[in-house]
Each structure stands twice: as structure tokens, then as C-alpha cells.
């Protein structure tokens, strides 16, 4: 069942989204060669608690941390650990918080130090695909329009959409209906209505789109060892169009 949010609920989710954006911006600022991913997680949790919120990833389906720190060939959901970041790494930071019962969720990919132009293109393409997907989230459009906007741009740039991983609805629960695919056909799928709050999150591979679950039971990595990137925003659909809830004004 899809729960359309009231204006009051959207404002509460916007509050949660701004808090999360503030946290992620601060975590991003300390990314550098030599820092351990578990240090990034510790800082993320401290910042979430300082915002008067709760890390909603921690304990979710057994996940052990507040922050996903997916590296290089890992597409999503890698737990932080003792690994020290190296020059040229691609690091995806996926994070969420619960603010008085309302959830927020977002992700970015960053290059550690200097990265190759091809790696920068992968990240830039993924971020642009996210913006194109958001622009397609107009009232009266359908979810297939979002997927088409993401997929068509990504493939034009020579990259692959990882189809098994999707965006999702969000509200009082971290993952709600509907699933928001990063591929699709124009005019197909659920009609987009004001009050729909979703996370759009392109997850892109530089090579094959095939993935497999890692030995840790959480990480999904590319089968062929290709690099991947991941960007995500939470947004509300209004009568005027999409409103991004996880960005700083």
C-alpha cells in the first residue's frame, strides 16, 4: 500500500532531510587518504545524535553501522571497518536518520584525493542521472518516466544501470512502497501524484551490471570487478513538481 503524505508530514520529512544533508556534508569533509571507514561511521553517528535524531541504518536488518561505506567495486551496503582510504578510491556514502518517527535517506559518491578522469565521469554521470530522474518525477508522469530518464542517460554515457537495486518510497518506515526502478519505459508504471515521497538512487557500473552478495552478507559488488557509483536524494512530489528534501539551501 502506498501512503501519500500530507503537507504537514512532508514538512516533518523535510526537517529530517535537512538534518541528514548537514550530517553527510560534514562526513564528506573529512574524507581523505589514510582515514579508516570506521572513523567516518563514528563521526556520522555522533553527528546524527547531535541533531537529536537516531541512525536508522544501525540495526536495520542486522546492519551494524550508521553509515554504508561502499568502496570501488562494491555498489552498496558495505559496512565500515578498518580499511584506510587510498588515493584514487571511489567511496559511496549512504546514510539515513530517524527524526521523531520520520525517516530520511541519501547517498553520494566521492573520489578520495585525485581520481582518474574516467572515474570522475562515472560519478558525474551517476549524479546527473539522479537529477534527470528527479526532474521526471512530475505529477501526472509515471514511475517508468523516472526509470527511463535515468537509464537512457546512463547508457548514452557508456555505463550500465544495476537493475537489481532500486529506489523506494519512504516515510515512517525507511523502505516503503513503491519500488523506484532506475530503468523503464515512458508512460508505464504507477502514476506519480502529489504527496508521494520517494528516494531516487541511481546505482551505476562502469562495466557489467551483474552483481553478487559479498561474504559479509551486506555488500553487493560487481561480478566483473567494475567500479560503481551511487547517488540518492529523498524528494516529495508536490503540485508544482518535485521538491528535494535532502539538500541544504
The pLDDT score that the predictor gives to residue 1 is 87
Q: Is the pLDDT of residue 94 over 90?
A: yes
Task: Tell me the Ramachandran region of residue 221: left when phi exceeds 0, alpha when psi lies from -120 to 50, beta otherwise.
Answer: beta
Would you mind telling me the total number of residues written for the chain in this entry? 249
Is 212 strand, coil or helix?
A: strand
User: How far is the C-alpha of 71 from the C-alpha of 103, rounded, in Å?
Assistant: 25
Domains of the chain: 7-244 (3.90.230.10)
Average pLDDT across the chain, whole number? 98
Cell of 50: 547531535
The pLDDT score that the predictor gives to residue 74 is 98
- The residue whose grid cell reads 546514510 is 95
What mean pLDDT is predicted for residues 98-118? Answer: 98
Asked whether the whole model's pTM tops 0.85, one would answer: yes
User: How far is the C-alpha of 172 from the C-alpha of 98, rounded, in Å?
Assistant: 8
What mean pLDDT is predicted for residues 86-102? Answer: 98
Which residues touch 114 (CB under 8 Å, ≥6 apart)? 87, 88
- The residue whose grid cell reads 580499511 is 83
Amino acid at each position: 500500500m502506498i501512503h501519500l503524505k500530507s503537507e504537514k508530514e512532508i514538512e516533518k520529512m523535510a526537517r529530517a532531510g535537512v538534518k541528514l544533508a548537514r550530517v553527510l556534508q560534514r562526513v564528506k569533509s573529512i574524507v581523505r587518504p589514510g582515514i579508516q571507514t570506521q572513523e567516518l561511521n563514528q563521526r556520522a553517528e555522533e553527528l546524527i545524535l547531535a541533531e537529536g535524531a537516531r541512525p536508522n541504518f544501525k540495526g536495520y536488518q542486522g546492519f551494524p553501522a550508521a553509515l554504508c561505506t561502499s568502496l570501488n567495486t562494491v555498489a552498496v551496503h558495505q559496512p565500515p571497518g578498518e580499511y584506510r582510504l587510498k588515493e584514487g578510491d571511489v567511496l559511496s556514502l549512504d546514510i539515513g536518520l530517524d527524526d521523531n518517527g520520520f525517516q530520511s535517506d541519501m547517498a553520494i559518491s566521492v573520489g578520495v584525493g585525485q581520481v582518474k578522469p574516467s572515474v570522475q565521469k562515472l560519478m558525474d554521470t551517476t549524479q546527473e542521472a539522479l537529477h534527470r530522474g528527479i526532474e521526471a518525477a512530475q505529477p501526472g508522469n509515471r514511475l517508468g518516466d523516472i526509470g527511463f530518464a535515468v537509464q537512457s542517460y546512463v547508457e548514452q554515457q557508456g555505463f550500465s544501470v544495476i537493475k537489481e537495486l532500486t529506489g523506494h518510497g519512504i516515510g515512517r518506515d525507511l523502505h516503503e512502497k513503491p519500488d523506484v526502478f532506475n530503468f523503464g519505459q515512458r508512460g508505464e508504471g504507477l502514476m506519480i501524484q502529489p504527496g508521494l515521497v520517494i528516494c531516487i538512487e541511481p546505482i551505476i557500473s562502469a562495466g557489467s551490471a551483474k552483481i553478487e552478495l559479498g561474504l559479509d552478507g551486506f555488500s553487493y559488488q560487481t561480478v566483473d570487478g567494475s567500479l560503481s557509483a551511487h547517488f540518492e536524494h529523498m524528494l516529495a512530489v508536490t503540485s508544482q513538481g518535485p521538491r528535494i528534501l535532502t539538500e541544504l539551501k
